[in-house]
Every structure is written in C-alpha cells, then in structure tokens.
Amino acid sequence: MIRHFFIPLCLWCFTLLGATMPLFAQDDDLLSLVDDEDKNTTNFARASFKTTRVINSHSLENVAAGVLDFKISHRFGVLNNGFYDIFGLDNATIRFGLDYGITPRLMVGLGRSTFEKTYDGFIKYKLLRQSKGKRNMPITASLVAGMSINTLKWANPDRDNYFSSRLSYYYQLIIGRKFGEGFSMQIMPTLVHRNLVETRAEKNDVISIGIAARQKLSKRIAVNAEYFYVLPNQIAESYRNSLSVGFDIETGGHVFQLHFTNSTPMTEKGFITETSNNWLDGDIHFGFNISRVFTIAQPKNREE
C-alpha cells in the first residue's frame, strides 16, 4: 500500500523538479541581467543635504540645471537680550538670494544682506560626484569662489577712500560623502581675503577649516550642524569661531531651515571672520532659511 503511494509521489516530485529547474535558471539569468545593468549605469548620490546651504555655509548640493532657487535667510537678535527685545525678535538681519543651475555641475548665485548692506555673488562647480555602478566615486567635491561688497557709507568721508577697500573674496573646497540614506558629512577648507582690515594685527588672508553634517530623522525632517575653525593669529581676539545647529523641514516645494547660530552675518567674509558672539554667554541668534525653487528651463534627460 505504502509502495503504491510512494512510487507515484516520487515520480511526481522528479517531474516537478525537472519542470522548475528551467525557471530557477531563468531567475539566475534575470539577476545577472540586473547586475549587468547596474554595472553599466552610473548612479549618483542624491540629497546629501536638503538644500545648497547647510545653515550659513554651502553644502555639497547644487541647484538642478534650469532651476532658480529663491532663498530668504533671517537672523533675529541674540536670545540673552531677554524679554525687553522678545528674546531677539525685535531685531533682524536678512539676506535675499537667487541661485541658478546652469548645468548639473555648475551654478551661480547673487545675494543682498542688511549686514553692512552687503552684495555678494559666487560660482560653484562640482569637480567630482559621488556615484557607483559604471563609474565608482566615493566622494563629492565642489569648488566655490565668491566675492562680497560692503556698501555702507564711509565712516570718514574726508579721508582718501578706495572702492577696492569694500571688496572681499573667498575660495572654498567642499569634500563630502553621503553615508547611507540617513547621514552625510563634509569638510570645507576655506580662504577668505579681505582687501581692508581694521588693525595691523589682523591678516588680509584668513584660512579656516569648516565641518558640517546632516542626520536624517524622518522622511521630511533632518538635523544639521556646522562649525568653522579659524587658524590662530589671523583675526581680532574679540572674534569667535562660527557654530550653528538646526533642523530642515521639507513641505512640498519649500524647505524650512530653523536654527541657532552665534553668527550675525550670512556671507563667508562675515560669519568666518566677523563672528563676535559667544555661545557660552547666550549670544545666540534664532533664525531660519526658506528655500523655494522654480523651474525656468526644462532640464536635460541625462546626467553630466
């Protein structure tokens, strides 16, 4: 009885196995095709940071080709002024900026700040793009060059004043990496050149090293931090290193960045060389950046 049941069962199993073996072979072929496709395609890392700025500093990201990014940056007064100034809400420093993507690698930007009535501009180019697949690159590297113009009235108009004294420049290399979906980090060696400094003790050329990081908390929220260390004996002793922390909140076409910083100015010449506030004394500004993008020209269908 058992034999009459077992023999047909074995024959059925062998028949089923024989029929499924081509299917397993087909699955292997499909997987190999997927692997080959991945090897033949370059996949670039995306959204290392949510916008082109971490807080004050540039991030690894560029505006997409053909896209205009309108930024409003706002810094209230310091918190330790207390209730008399509504913890800084009575005072404000503002910067308006327009950034435009010329290609996926190249972008330009212009801005105007109330701090020293400063106009600024920059050009930013991605030298390397983090990617895997056909082209493996472990990091992203960008080069930024910019300048700013102080348009305040001359403090002493009776002496010889030169337009060149209003100008400052900066050059920055950004090197970073996106580590998985949640964490990104970058370092930013920066040179700031000031045509005019207040005292002979200060240097016209100031070298600093910045570091910034982003940790994703949810699909639409992330925490950011940035710090710039200025090498010794370059700026006045009353100035401090810039430290900022905050949150990114994405809502549709807008990105809100809420943060705390000891820097009042929002240009590299300002927050790197002219940050006078001290976190330990409560000289902290609450502020925000708002970013809204507009597609001006349809982007190309291929990566460059």
Where does 220-284 show beta strands of DSSP type E?
A: 221-230, 242-251, 254-261
Question: Is 4 inside a domain boundary?
Answer: no
Question: Is 130 inside a domain boundary?
Answer: yes
Our count of domains for the chain comes to 1
- Cβ neighbours of residue 165 under 8 Å, at least 6 residues apart? 195, 196
DSSP state, residue 201: T
Q: Which residues constitute the domain of residue 183?
A: 42-295
Question: What phi, psi does 269 have (nearest 5°)?
Answer: -60, -35
Question: Is 29 inside a domain boundary?
Answer: no
> What CATH number is given to the structural domain containing 157?
2.40.160.40
Question: Is 144 inside a domain boundary?
Answer: yes
Strand partners, 192: 170, 206
| The pLDDT of residue 89 | 86
Contact predicate 273/230, CB 8 Å: yes
| The pLDDT of residue 22 | 44
Question: Is 28 inside a domain boundary?
Answer: no
Question: Is 114 inside a domain boundary?
Answer: yes
Region for residue 86 given its phi and psi (left: phi exceeds 0; alpha: psi -120 to 50; beta: otherwise): left
Question: Is 5 inside a domain boundary?
Answer: no
Question: Is 21 inside a domain boundary?
Answer: no
| The pLDDT of residue 21 | 39
pLDDT digits (tens, 9 = 90+) for 238-258: 999 999 999 999 887 688 999
Q: Which residues of the chain have pLDDT under 70?
A: 1-39, 253, 299-304
Contact predicate 68/285, CB 8 Å: no
| The pLDDT of residue 135 | 87
Q: Which of 118, 163, 125 is nearest to 273 (CA)?
A: 118
Say what the pTM is: 0.83
